[in-house]
Amino acid sequence: MPLFLFFYMAEILPYSCCKLGFYSIKDKTRRGNGIGSATLRPVSCVATGGEKVIVIKNGKDSLEMCRVVNGMWQTSDGPAEDLYGLFINRVRRERPPQLLENVRGLTKWVPPPVKMSRSFVEKSIDVSRKRMDVACLDMLQFHWWDYANSGYLDALKHLTDLKDEGKIKTVALTNFDTERLRIILENEIPVVSNQVQHSIIDMRPQQRMAELCQQKGVKLITYGTVMGGLLSEKFLDTNLSIPFAGPPLNTPSLQKYKRMVDAWGGWSQFQVLLQQLSKIGRKHGVSIATVAVKYILDQPAVAGSMIGVRLGLSDHIRDANAIFSLDLDEEDVESIREISSRGKDLMKVIGDCGDEYRRA
């Protein structure tokens, strides 16, 4: 059985507002922070094989990846790509050569709104390659803030050229909506996936995006699937309307996804969902989070899901392994679908995938 290690890195330029999952700030002034002498902890990972692994592809481009990907929030203000470079070099020194072939690093590029020239794009990608200490990036996930600026097509065309030249293995997207994904594909840009927010609460990707993805062979990689930890036993039977009565919403992700709960149907309705997920979890001997992730992994076009980990605090190895042995039956699926549908239509409230990051 092969062993796959996945590190999800993302970069965002300092001018931008950080709203997404796991980021490192692309700021050269942060390079001299002593990270080169950092002590690396042993890496916890999930052995994967069979149904745990999927190949995402578009044309001749493909990448084998685990269906559960580690997203590491604790590096949200740090040099994630540098950390990966340290890690991959440790693998090269201390692990069998065959393990190196089964390591995947997914990184993100969020450029500023400037002219997307070939030289600008290539220099940015070369920075990532240098930081991660790899000749070829496994996956470059591209994000663009302003659709009114069609420079995203220029950038993607240059990224495709760099892929053909061997600097990138696969080109992907982050938080693009259905309309822009269609335009990108019509321009014959071979993206393999689109990373989008997707949970039992937020089923927007299944309304328009999934159908296009199935038609064109593009896959979805989801985040926010356990809503920063809200979809867990920790928040079952809690009342957040009473000060200090429930668990604190003490992380940016918990605060963000609490707002999503409010937009969907409120805390009381959310408790109904948690109670049903808990019932299903007890039936199968798994956690609420495991049920929540499995439900989304079973949705059309979904290739994988990111689960946040905080080294030394929460790594979720047991829950991650349990996902792949869980089979939700028809009764389970229908009961989740029924409660999910009671909430407001977030497509009407928020808009399509990624619109929450582009509205004024």
pTM equals: 0.86
Q: Is the pLDDT of residue 35 over 60?
A: no
Going by C-beta distance under 8 Å and a sequence separation of 6 or more, which residues neighbour residue 328? 280, 284, 291, 294, 295, 298, 336
Task: Find out whether 71 and 307 touch, Cβ atoms under 8 Å.
Answer: yes
| pLDDT above 60 (res 43) | no
Q: So what's the pLDDT on residue 23?
A: 27
pLDDT at 251: 86
Separation of alpha carbons 291 and 277, rounded Å: 7
Query: How far apart are the C-alpha atoms of 65 and 193, rounded to whole Å?
Result: 12
Tell me how crowded residue 268 is: count the other CB atoms within 10 A of its CB: 9
Percentage of the chain with pLDDT > 70?
82
Signed CA dihedral, 300, 307, 347, 277: sign only = positive
Structure tokens given for 66 = 């685990």
| Neighbouring-strand partners of residue 8 | 71, 106
Tokens 């990846």 locate to 65
Residue 351 has pLDDT above 50, yes or no: yes
User: Is residue 108 within 8 Å of residue 170, measured between CB atoms?
Assistant: no
Q: For residue range 72-108, what is the model confidence (pLDDT) as tens digits?
A: 655 645 578 898 899 999 999 999 998 888 889 999 9
* Residue 38 scores a pLDDT above 50: no
Per-residue pLDDT reduced to its tens digit, 285-304? 999 999 999 999 999 999 99
Looking at residue 78, its pLDDT comes to: 57
The rounded distance, in Å, linking the Cα atoms of 354 and 177 is 6
Cα dihedral angle (271, 273, 278, 279), rounded to 10 degrees?
120
What CA–CA distances, in Å, run from 326 to 6, 98, 260?
A: 22, 30, 27
pLDDT, tens digit, 9 for 90 and up, residues 313-345: 555 678 888 999 999 999 999 999 999 999 999
Coil, strand or helix: which one is 259? helix
The strand ranges marked E within 212-337 are: 219-223, 302-309
Residue with tokens 């072939």: 101
The pLDDT score that the predictor gives to residue 359 is 77
Q: Compute CA distances 328 → 51, 233, 248, 292, 357, whole Å.
A: 15, 19, 31, 10, 33
Dihedral sign from CA coordinates of 123, 127, 133, 134: negative
Average the pLDDT over each of 11-20, 53-62, 70-79 and give the range with the smallest value.
11-20
Instruction: Indicate the pLDDT class of residue 307, thresholds 50, 70 and 90.
Output: confident
Quick one: pLDDT at residue 48?
38
| Rg of the chain, C-alpha, whole Å | 20
Give yes or no for residue 18 having a pLDDT over 50.
Answer: no
User: What is the residue-averaged pLDDT of the chain?
Assistant: 85
Write the burial class of residue 113 (CB in 10 Å: 0-12 exposed, 13-18 middle, 19+ buried). Answer: middle
Q: Residue range 143-151: average pLDDT?
A: 95
DSSP category for residue 210: H
Query: Comparing 50 with 118, which gets the higher pLDDT?
Result: 118
First-last CA distance in the chain: 48
Pick the residue with more confidence: 50 or 97? 97
Split at pLDDT 50, 70, 90, the class of 176 is very high
351: left (phi over 0), alpha (psi -120 to 50) or beta: left
Position 46 pLDDT exceeds 60: no
DSSP 224: -
* pLDDT score at 310: 55
pLDDT in tens, 199-226: 999 999 999 999 999 999 999 999 999 9
